[in-house]
């Protein structure tokens, strides 16, 4: 295979470890100079390709690239921008081909979630429909943990660890003061359609009666009476009640408990405000003093307490993506496969994008216990390995974590025509 | 001095490091068996003394006591319960004397904030007014950092570190996606009357133009127009705007931006909801996509990213409290004194409770910059040393932090009469 350059882009909501995948891609590409020339990173994701705004990662030192492994956020910039079908957006696809041709790009690594898998699949199809040879590999990333095939999604393990630890710490706080102060604490976490992140809060329960006492999943229809009865029972029994609520908590008819009303670029409803809604119910119906927290971006950006397992896997999928591309694979995603046996183990295998794009993996019902308010043993067995190990970033003398400081040298533009997004 | 037992209690809102102070008290007392017999800890704070519910810390192993150093929350239980004046609550004070007499308690260590300093002072006055010899030492603790005399308050440094790191991490997240997604992010932090915690968010600004771009302090009257103009200007200039807002943010007339309407046991208004209020302003007046987070208890319980400086100081004030008591001091608080010179250093000195009780230390105006939207160099110089160093707790194989597992053996009651709170 002739030597080609690679294009790498970050897509959608960023995570604490997406840059670890970038690190895996770039470091591995550097080890295979025979096949891959330069890795160009899209400035702000796929938009960078459309605008011909390519960051030359060759200009970054080995130390800077290594530092990506402990840098949260999307170091090259990410975007919420979904390419439509080939028919609907022919201009965009033609532009991508023009840019790829101009910069001799033969490898496309797209680091994102379900929507990005779809884009990646479309790019791979350009090989046929537009007669441009390109190897398109999707690098999995999403805190929502909703990609199929892969055992879990890089980014999720670190959110899960953050949520489990935060739930545990806040629960100890409330427990120690509940006699004369707050009785009910609610932590609202991300998870639009699937309760994976809320489920992770359940890991804080290490012994019977440990908080959280109630987890609200999008998968289980919310019933106000059942909920309040459980809260009241818990406060009467333990003196306090800790609730982890998914932002996607909804009634039987599908209505979200709180709906901010706005819509993101992918047409998804933007949520927020389940915790205050629940707090009001508790206050009005039961009269208990409450507190609530909404972690929002803090949870997905929390590189300071990333799961070591997650960091390793995020790096590994980046590495595997390059190895698969060099091996001639196309339209695949490196998926994490969980080993058999009691001790947790994992490996990477290629999974076909055609069966991944636009498929949302829901949490199995048997990961939730019978009454629908906590995780089951199966759920715990699945989740627990994903938060194991601590991978601390280095800190400066000023007490703040150190992050990669990219030079971001742009590749000279070769196409005269500008492209308006 | 005849050998006496000691009583130790935790009071008010707990912190990530109040148990490190407990550890300092108990370990130091154990080194001075000649003077101090047993250390009895109040179950749920001062209420434990009133009810004669005393936890015998002698029943806890050295390992368990050492583990307090990395256990967040109030391990012996805390409470929001303020003793009134000696005249108003004679029954309570008489009860305390009865319990102290029954258990041969000659040392009183009270670990709390301003209200607790007041209680501790009153206990010390029992020596004279009720003719009962007791050495009452206040062990400082409050995330609000509002105790006078001491350079800072144990508990604050760890919240400051959590807020600075969280602000930095979330800012990197938003910055990397702002072109096509969220433009404005608001983090609401604690701080009812003083902006110390909000100020700590300012440490995330390491270089010019770094987020946060706006800090809202209780000390600076909120002006909606000025605020929105600044937000708009920042988004236009940088593409995004990060705001750290104190829960105590208020208008010129003193009205809080958001007031949950309830009142705690000390008569303080319970706040919450500044972030959504600001978010609505941004959305309605500027139309920017926003996100907001409310850290609430997560920030004060976050032992997982405690400041090493804070942990050391929390332990040191506990240790010094015992040493001061043995030295015959009464009605004092071990205060942290900052050394002169460019390199940060600190020592402990006794400060008189009479000048501490009910005095709230505000943040100096010169810690805030001229326009009132960020910290000044003086503010940075004050805050920066307090978040230095990381003191990670040990973790179990399951990826969760290990905490002290107290047996909590209660001392046999010696008084027949029960006391109703």
Q: How many helices (H) and strands (E) does chain A have?
A: 12, 13
Distance CA B188, CA B292 (A): 8
Tokens in use for B193?
A: 């009357």
Residue B262, pLDDT above cutoff 70:
no
Residue B370 lies in a domain: no
Query: Is there a domain that residue A63 lies in?
Result: yes
Please, which pLDDT band fits residue B270 given cuts at 50, 70 and 90?
very low
Q: Give the distance from CA A418 to its chain's centroid.
A: 32
- Residues in chain B with CB shorter than 8 Å from the CB of A119 are none
pLDDT digits (tens, 9 = 90+) for A300-330: 999 999 999 999 999 999 999 999 999 999 9
Q: How many helices (H) and strands (E) does chain B have?
A: 12, 13
Across the interface, whether the CB atoms of A297 and B293 are under 8 A apart is answered yes
Which domain does B212 fall in, by range?
Answer: 156-304+376-387
Confidence of residue A2 (pLDDT cuts 50, 70, 90): confident
Q: How far away is chain B from the Cα of A128, in angstroms, using its nearest Cα?
A: 30
Position B260 pLDDT exceeds 70: no
| Per-residue pLDDT at B169 | 98
Do B238 and B380 lie in one domain? The reply is: yes
The residue among B399, B404, B405, B408 with the most chain A CBs within 10 A of its CB, best to mutate, is B399
Tell me whether B38 touches chain A (CB under 8 Å). no
* pLDDT confidence of residue B381: 97
Asked if B82 is an interface residue toward chain A (Cβ–Cβ < 8 A), one would say: no
Q: Does some domain include residue A394?
A: no
Query: Of B42, B165, B383, which to mutate for an interface test with A (greatest number of A Cβ within 10 Å)?
Result: B165
Distance from CA of B80 to the nearest CA of A (A): 6
pLDDT of B212 above 90:
yes
Nearest to A387 among B166, B302, B399 (CB): B399
Choosing from A56, A98, A115, A144, the catalytic residue is A144
B299 and B316 together in one domain = no
* CATH number of the domain within which A65 lies: 3.40.50.450
pLDDT digits (tens, 9 = 90+) for B144-195: 999 999 999 999 999 999 999 999 999 999 999 999 999 999 999 999 889 9
Residue A420 lies in a domain: no
Structure-model confidence comparison of residues B205 and B87, the more confident one? B205
Q: Is residue B399 part of a domain?
A: no
> Does B73 contact A at CB distance below 8 Å?
yes
Q: Mark yes or no for CB contact B298/A187 under 8 Å.
A: yes
**Same-domain check for residues B297 and B312:** no
| pLDDT > 90? residue A268 | no
Which CATH number characterizes residue A282's domain?
3.40.50.460
pLDDT, position A213: 98
B49: helix, strand or coil = helix
Q: Residue B389: its chain A contacts at CB < 8 A? A: 399
- Select the residue from A177, A266, A403 to test the B interface by mutation, using most B Cβ atoms within 10 A: A177
Measure CB to CB from residue A399 to each of B79, B293, B388 and give the nearest one.
Answer: B388
Predicted local distance difference test score (pLDDT) of residue B83: 87
- Helices A224-238 and A274-281 pack at an angle, to 10 degrees, of 70
CA distance A114 to A358: 6
Domain presence at residue B270 = yes
Q: In this complex, do A392 and B390 lie within 8 Å of one another by their Cβ atoms?
A: yes
On chain B, the residues whose CB falls within 8 A of the CB of A16 are 169
Structural domain tally of chain A?
A: 2
Q: Which residues of A touch B300 (CB under 8 A)?
A: 173
Determine the residue of chain B that is closest to A390 in CA distance.
Answer: B399
Predicted structure pTM score:
0.96
Structure tokens given for A231: 């809260």
Q: Which residues of A are annotated as a binding site for diphosphate?
A: 13
Q: Is the pLDDT of residue A366 over 80?
A: yes
Q: Which residues of B touch A166 (CB under 8 A)?
A: 298, 301-302
Answer whether B297 sits within 8 Å of A262, measured CB to CB.
no
Is some CB atom of chain B closer than 8 A to the CB atom of A240?
Answer: no
> How many Å apart are CA B328 and CA A239, to the nearest integer?
40
How many CB contacts within 8 angstroms connect chain A with chain B? Answer: 215
Element (H, E) at A135: strand A135-140
Shared domain for B287 and B161, answered yes or no, is: yes
| pLDDT tens-digit series, residues A237-247 | 999 999 999 99
Q: How far is A158 from chain B (nearest CA, A)?
A: 11
Q: Angle at CA B349, nearest 5°, toward B344 and B353? A: 125
- Does the CB of A25 have a partner CB in chain B at under 8 Å? no
Angle at B418 between CA B416 and CA B420, to 5 degrees: 170
Other C-beta atoms closer than 10 Å to the C-beta of B35 total 17
Q: How far is B250 from chain A (nearest CA, A)?
A: 21
Same domain membership, residue B169 and residue B240: yes
B-contacting residues in A 189-228 (Cβ below 8 Å):
203-204, 206
Residues A160 and A264 in one domain: yes
Higher local confidence (pLDDT), A154 or A255:
A154
Is B171 found in the same domain as B114? Answer: no
Q: Express each pLDDT in B93-141 by its tens digit.
A: 999 999 999 999 999 999 999 999 999 999 998 877 888 999 999 999 9
Neighbours of B99 (CB within 10 A): 24
- Flag whether B104 is in a domain: yes
Round to the nearest angstrom and report the end-to-end CA distance of chain A: 34
Beta carbons of A179 and B47 less than 8 Å apart: yes
Determine which helix (DSSP H) or strand (DSSP E) holds B105, and give its type and residue range.
strand B105-112
Q: Over 60: is that where the pLDDT of A39 sits? A: yes
Gap between the Cα atoms of A352 and B303, Å rounded: 43
Sorting pLDDT into bands at 50, 70 and 90, what band is A260? very low
Nearest-CA distance from A249 to chain B in Å?
18
CB contact B116 to A (< 8 Å):
no
**Token match 């119906």: residue?**
A285
pLDDT at B266 over 70: no
Any domain includes A383? yes
User: Is any Cβ of chain A less than 8 angstroms from the Cβ of B280?
Assistant: no
CB atoms within 10 A of CB B261: 10
Kindly give, in sequence order, each residue whose CB lies less than 8 Å from that of residue A279, ignoring residues fewer than 6 positions away.
A184, A186, A290, A291, A292
Q: Are B291 and B177 in contact (CB under 8 A)?
A: no
List chain B residues with CB under 8 Å of A75: 176
DSSP string, A12-62: SS--SSHHHHHHHHHHHHHTTTTTEEEEEEETTTHHHHHTT-EEEGGGS-H
pLDDT given for residue A270 in this prediction: 46
Task: Return the pLDDT at A264.
Answer: 44
B202 interaction partners in chain A (CB closer than 8 Å): none
- Which residues of B participate in catalysis according to the annotation? 144
- Whether residue B272 sits in one domain with residue B200: yes
Does B273 count as an annotated binding residue?
no
Query: Does one domain contain both B354 and B380?
Result: no
Is there a single domain that holds both residue A292 and residue A321? no
Query: Does A384 lie at the interface with B, CB-CB under 8 angstroms?
Result: yes
Query: Do residues B354 and B314 both lie within one domain?
Result: yes
Instruction: Please compute the mean of the pLDDT values over residues A377-388 and round it to a whole number.
Output: 98
CA of A181 to nearest chain B CA: how many angstroms apart?
A: 6
pLDDT band, residue A1 (cuts 50/70/90): low
Do B352 and B381 lie in one domain? The reply is no
pLDDT score of A266: 52
Average predicted confidence (pLDDT) for chain A: 94
Cβ–Cβ of B301/A172 closer than 8 Å? yes
Q: What is the pLDDT of residues B310-362, one digit of tens each?
A: 999 999 999 999 999 999 999 999 999 999 988 999 999 999 999 998 898 99
| Tokens encoding A79 | 């975007």
Q: How far is A77 from chain B (nearest CA, A)?
A: 4
Nearest CA in chain B to A384: B398
- Tell which B residues from 321 to 340 touch A, by Cβ distance under 8 Å: none
Query: Residue B267 has what pLDDT?
Result: 52
């Amino acid at each position: 295979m002739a030597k080609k350059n690679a294009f790498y882009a970050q897509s959608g909501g960023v995570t604490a470890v997406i840059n670890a995948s970038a690190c895996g891609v770039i470091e591995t590409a550097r080890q295979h100079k025979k096949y891959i020339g330069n890795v160009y990173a899209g400035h702000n994701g796929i938009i960078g390709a459309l605008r011909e705004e390519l960051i030359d990662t060759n200009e970054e030192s080995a130390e800077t690239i290594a530092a990506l492994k402990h840098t949260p956020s999307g170091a090259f910039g990410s975007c919420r921008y979904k390419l439509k079908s080939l028919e609907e957006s022919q201009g965009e696809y033609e532009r991508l081909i023009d840019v790829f041709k101009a910069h001799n790009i033969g490898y496309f690594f797209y680091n994102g979630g379900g929507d990005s898998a779809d884009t990646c699949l479309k790019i791979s199809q350009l090989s046929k429909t537009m007669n441009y040879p390109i190897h398109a590999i999707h690098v999995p990333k999403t805190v929502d943990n909703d990609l199929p095939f892969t055992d879990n999604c890089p980014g999720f393990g670190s959110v899960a660890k953050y949520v489990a630890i935060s739930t545990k710490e806040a629960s100890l706080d409330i427990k120690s003061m509940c006699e004369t102060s707050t009785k009910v604490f609610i932590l609202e976490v991300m998870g639009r359609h699937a309760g994976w992140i809320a489920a992770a809060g359940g890991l804080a329960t290490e012994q019977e009666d440990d908080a959280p006492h109630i987890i609200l999943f999008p998968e289980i229809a919310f019933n106000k009476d059942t909920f309040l009865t459980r809260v009241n029972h818990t406060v009467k029994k333990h003196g306090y009640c800790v609730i982890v609520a998914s932002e996607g908590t909804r009634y039987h008819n599908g209505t979200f408990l709180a709906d901010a009303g706005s819509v993101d670029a992918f047409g998804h409803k933007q949520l927020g405000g389940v915790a205050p809604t629940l707090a009001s119910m508790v206050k009005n119906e039961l009269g208990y003093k409450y507190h609530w927290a909404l972690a929002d971006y803090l949870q997905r950006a929390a590189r300071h307490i990333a799961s070591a397992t997650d960091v390793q896997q995020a790096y590994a999928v980046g590495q595997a993506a390059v190895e698969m591309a060099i091996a001639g694979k196309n339209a695949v995603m490196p998926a994490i496969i969980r080993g058999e046996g009691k001790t947790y183990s994992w490996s990477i295998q290629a999974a076909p994008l055609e069966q991944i794009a636009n498929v949302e993996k829901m949490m199995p019902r048997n990961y939730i216990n019978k009454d629908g308010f906590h995780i089951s043993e199966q759920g715990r067995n699945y989740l627990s390995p994903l938060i194991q190990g601590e991978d601390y970033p280095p800190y400066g003398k000023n007490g703040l974590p150190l992050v990669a400081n990219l030079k971001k040298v742009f590749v000279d533009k070769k196409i005269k025509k500008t492209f308006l997004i």
